Structures are given as structure tokens and as C-alpha cells.
């Protein structure tokens, strides 16, 4: 490439600074960014950067580092001590501000494993910078964010893999193939786990450790008092259970269950059309001391129900180990699929060749390799950005139904959802919850 490095930096200064300030991103994109879609050949080395390199981010980088054609060149994290620790493993450069990593010409793709409240802005900025993206699930904190990420990925022709790794598992693939090809007949009901919604954080504050930019860690969310149990993803309770940073375990573990339901029903570009709750109105847990009781299962949370096209009823009422699956009940049989488990009402289905089935689903046997290969041939991966957005949307719809029950102090009211327009057609409060306020300096670009 012959274009001078300053052009990229000028571009990044304009787009990313504008994004942080909430301004309109420029519509004229340098040719080198738009041409990046063809820059990687089948035999080329893929150079990756990591954004958010805590427990999950570190594991992901280790998985990608196993491939001979992948190099980890840079990592970024608001916690510089952790950033240097991970950087030393790979001999990678370290940054506290992820935008400096995105400014590098040699980075082909980024692995984003920051808390959910950061996913949207970092993914959009990465797309604008011409990077392909692997982003952990749940893809977003809000439904609006998800649509904006999809827009950015499509506009800048990015290969985007969501970290819903069960899409690359043979047992989930077989289960969904059997269901999609009618082996259990018409699906009547699906049972999933009653995962907990998000908690409200009232944990006490402590001095911020040296090397941690806590204001940056909080980013788009309001700044909470620093507490190590918040910073830890699954601490006591951990940011995965705190409303400003995540949607609770329904978005943590629950997104795996819902993603399998979406896949089995052919709803990768759709979703439920009605959502309601049954039981006592929602009352979020107030985390005032370190505690993780009831974090996984919503013991006190109302049960979420959804109706999908075809009058398919989904009920999240089970209390079992969170293994990322569901029980599918059809007119001619049943299938329960979890991690490590595939229970079939007809054992003959276990040996049926999948290649001969009429409906064929995307096949991947390694979620990380799938993304790398797609980066090279510019195809869409098994958990493409639209898929990740739609699965996260169903999680958020469940939370919204609970929040409305809290507001109205009653359950049972059916919220009618339009998956095409991505809005409620009978509840203004539901539409109010489609997005959340952000601190001004971390606003999303007004136009993608």
C-alpha cells in the first residue's frame, strides 16, 4: 500500500474523535479503508489486536494464538497492569486507549471482550478503522446499539463474528438441523432457563488501584464507585449482573439458550412477536454487599414467555445448570440440547446423515478458525453480526418485559414486537427501553 500513514491517522482522528464526541462521522472514507476487504490472502498472516483482555479476553487471545497464521500484535485495556501482563505473553504492544490500537495499519482484526456496555462503540470504531471484528456475546447493552453495529459492519464491509461459540458445536448443529428439517414435527413449545435479570449496584467504593483508568472502564455508563467485585466479570456479583454494564445473566448465559432457539426456529433475521411475564412483578436485587446468591437463576424474577411466528411458545421457567441449551417439544418428538448433551426422543436421529437434509445450516467446527478463514475469503461467519444482534435483542426483550412489570406492578400484559421495524407497536414504555443514556463523550456516531 502506498498511501501515507498520516492519511490513516487523519481519518482516525476525524471518525473516532467525532464518534466519542457524538458528532456525525464523515461520509468520505479513505480508499485504503474501503479496500481493506481484499487485503488478506489465503496464505497471509492475520494480525490481531485484543480490546478488553481480562479473563475472557485473555482466553480468546490464547485460542487465536494457536493458529500458525495468526499473530497477536497489540492489546488494549483500561487496566494497564493487566494489559501489560497479557501483552508480555505475546510480545504485543500495549495501550490503555483502544483507539491507539485501531490507529495501527498492521492490525487486520480485533477481538473485543470488554464489558457489554463498551461493545457498541468499540465495534463501530473498529469497523470505521477497517478492522474485522470478533466481539463477545451478548453483543450489546441495548437493541438500538445492535442495529447500529450491524449498519457499521455492513457499510465498511467487515467480517464480524459474534462469540456465540455454540454455533460451531456439532451437537447444537445437529439439533438445529433436525428441528429445521421437521424431525420433531411442528414445534409446539420450548423450555429454557429462568435466568436472572440485572442487579442494581450499591456496593461501597474503594480507592482506584494504580494503573486502572476507572473513568474509562465505566466509559459510556455513569461512573460507579470503584469496587473489585464490580470490575470482575463474575465477581460477587460482577459487572455481568450490574444493569449499567450488562443485562444480567439472561444476557450472560441466557444469550446462549436464546441463540440456539433462534437458530432452531430459523429466526436469525427475526425474533419473537409477543413477550410477557408471569409471576410477581420484577424487583431487581440491590447489590449492597458482595453476594452472588440467585445471580444465575431468577428465583424472584417473573418467568419470561415469548411467542414466535407459527404460534410457537417459549417459556423460560426451568431451573437447571446453565449449559446454553433448551428443550424443544414438537408434535412428533422432543430434543434437548445442552453443552455435552443431546437427548433425542428417537435415537435413530443421532446417526442420520446431515448432508442429505433439505435445509442446510452453516457448518463450522471451530468458532475461532471460522472467523479467521472468513477474514481471508471475505465471507460471512457462522455467527454473523446480524445473528448476534438478533439473539441479544431477544434477551433484551425479556428484560424489558420484566422492567415494565416492575413499572406497572403487574404481569401478564403482552408486549407486541415488530422484528422488522424493531419496535413495540402497543407499548411506549417498551420503546423507551430500546436504548439508554450515555455520557456525552462516549456517544455513538449520529450517522453510521
Give the range of the structural domain holding residue 232, as residue numbers without chain letter.
Answer: 170-360+385-442
* Claim to verify: residue 140 and residue 213 sit in the same structural domain: no
CATH of the domain at 328: 3.30.360
CA distance 219 to 214: 8
- Please state whether the predicted TM-score (pTM) of the whole model is above 0.85: yes
- The answer to whether residue 82 is domain-embedded is yes
Q: Which positions ≥6 away from 384 have C-beta within 8 Å?
A: 160, 161, 162
Residue 27 has pLDDT above 80, yes or no: no
* Claim to verify: residue 68 and residue 181 sit in the same structural domain: no
Identify which of 20, 19, 13, 93 has the alpha carbon closest to the alpha carbon of residue 53. Answer: 93
Identify which of 159, 35, 169, 152 has the alpha carbon closest to the alpha carbon of residue 109. Answer: 159
* Claim to verify: residue 154 and residue 188 sit in the same structural domain: no
Task: With cut-offs at 50, 70 and 90, classify the pLDDT of residue 179.
Answer: very high
* Claim to verify: residue 136 and residue 219 sit in the same structural domain: no
Give the chain's domain count: 2
Cell numbers given for 36: 481493506
Task: With cut-offs at 50, 70 and 90, classify the pLDDT of residue 93.
Answer: very high
* Residue recorded with cell 454487599: 289
CA distance 302 to 280: 6
Question: Rounded to whole angstroms, what are the CA distances from 448 to 22, 51, 120?
Answer: 11, 21, 12
CA distance 76 to 380: 26
Residue 374 has pLDDT above 80, yes or no: yes
Tell me the per-residue pLDDT of 31-89, one tens digit each, with 9 for 90 and over.
333 334 445 666 689 999 999 999 999 999 999 999 999 999 999 999 999 999 999 99
Q: H or E stretch including 297?
A: none
Q: Which positions ≥6 away from 355 have C-beta within 8 Å?
A: none
Structural domain ending residue among the three candidates 166, 188, 204: 166
- The answer to whether residue 371 is domain-embedded is no
Cell numbers given for 306: 415469548
Considering Cα of 312, then 253, then 61, then 75, what sign does the dihedral take? positive
Scanning 129-268, the segments in alpha helix (DSSP H) are 143-155, 170-180, 214-218, 228-231, 249-252, 254-264
Structural domain ending residue among the three candidates 166, 196, 230: 166
- The answer to whether residue 275 is domain-embedded is yes
Structural domain ending residue among the three candidates 108, 137, 166: 166
Amino acid at each position: 500500500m502506498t498511501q501515507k500513514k498520516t492519511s490513516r491517522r487523519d481519518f482516525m482522528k476525524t471518525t473516532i474523535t467525532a464518534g466519542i464526541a457524538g458528532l456525525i462521522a464523515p461520509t468520505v472514507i479513505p480508499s485504503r479503508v474501503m479496500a481493506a476487504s481484499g487485503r488478506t490472502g489465503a496464505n497471509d498472516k492475520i494480525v490481531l489486536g485484543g480490546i478488553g483482555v481480562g479473563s475472557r479476553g485473555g482466553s480468546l487471545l490464547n485460542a487465536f494464538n494457536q493458529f500458525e497464521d495468526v499473530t497477536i500484535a497489540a492489546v488494549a485495556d483500561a487496566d494497564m497492569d493487566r494489559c501489560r501482563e497479557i501483552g508480555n505473553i505475546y510480545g504485543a504492544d500495549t495501550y490503555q486507549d483502544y483507539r491507539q490500537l485501531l490507529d495501527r495499519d498492521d492490525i487486520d482484526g480485533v477481538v473485543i471482550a470488554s464489558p457489554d456496555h463498551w461493545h457498541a462503540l468499540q465495534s463501530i470504531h473498529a469497523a470505521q478503522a477497517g478492522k474485522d471484528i470478533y466481539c463477545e456475546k451478548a453483543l450489546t447493552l441495548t437493541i438500538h446499539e445492535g442495529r447500529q453495529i450491524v449498519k457499521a459492519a455492513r457499510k465498511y464491509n467487515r467480517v464480524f463474528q459474534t462469540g456465540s461459540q455454540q454455533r460451531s458445536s456439532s451437537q447444537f448443529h445437529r439439533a438445529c438441523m433436525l428441528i429445521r428439517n421437521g424431525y420433531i414435527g411442528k414445534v409446539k413449545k420450548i423450555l429454557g432457563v429462568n435466568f436472572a435479570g440485572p442487579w442494581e449496584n450499591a456496593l461501597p467504593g474503594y480507592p482506584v488501584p494504580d494503573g486502572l483508568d476507572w473513568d474509562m472502564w465505566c466509559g459510556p455508563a455513569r461512573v460507579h464507585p470503584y469496587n473489585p467485585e464490580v470490575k470482575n466479570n463474575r465477581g460477587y456479583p460482577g459487572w455481568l449482573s450490574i444493569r449499567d454494564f450488562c443485562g444480567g445473566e439472561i444476557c450472560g448465559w441466557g444469550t446462549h439458550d436464546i441463540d440456539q432457539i433462534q437458530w432452531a426456529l430459523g429466526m436469525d433475521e427475526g425474533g419473537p412477536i409477543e413477550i410477557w411475564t408471569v409471576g410477581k412483578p420484577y424487583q431487581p436485587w440491590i447489590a449492597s454487599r458482595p453476594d452472588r446468591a440467585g445471580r444465575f437463576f431468577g428465583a424472584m424474577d417473573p418467568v419470561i414467555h415469548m411467542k414466535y411466528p407459527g404460534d410457537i411458545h417459549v417459556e423460560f421457567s426451568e431451573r437447571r445448570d446453565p449449559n446454553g441449551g433448551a428443550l424443544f417439544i414438537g408434535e412428533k418428538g422432543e430434543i434437548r440440547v445442552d453443552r455435552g448433551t443431546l437427548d433425542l426422543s428417537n435415537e435413530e436421529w443421532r446417526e442420520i446423515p446431515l448432508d442429505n437434509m433439505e435445509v442446510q445450516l452453516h457448518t463450522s467446527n471451530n468458532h475461532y478458525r471460522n472467523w479467521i478463514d472468513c477474514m481471508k475469503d471475505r465471507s460471512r461467519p457462522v455467527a454473523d453480526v446480524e445473528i448476534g444482534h438478533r439473539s441479544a435483542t431477544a434477551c433484551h426483550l425479556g428484560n424489558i418485559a420484566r422492567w415494565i412489570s416492575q413499572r406497572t406492578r403487574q404481569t401478564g400484559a403482552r408486549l407486541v414486537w415488530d422484528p422488522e421495524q424493531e419496535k413495540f407497536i402497543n407499548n411506549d414504555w417498551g420503546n423507551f427501553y430500546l436504548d439508554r443514556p450515555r455520557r456525552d463523550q462516549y456517544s455513538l456516531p449520529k450517522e453510521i
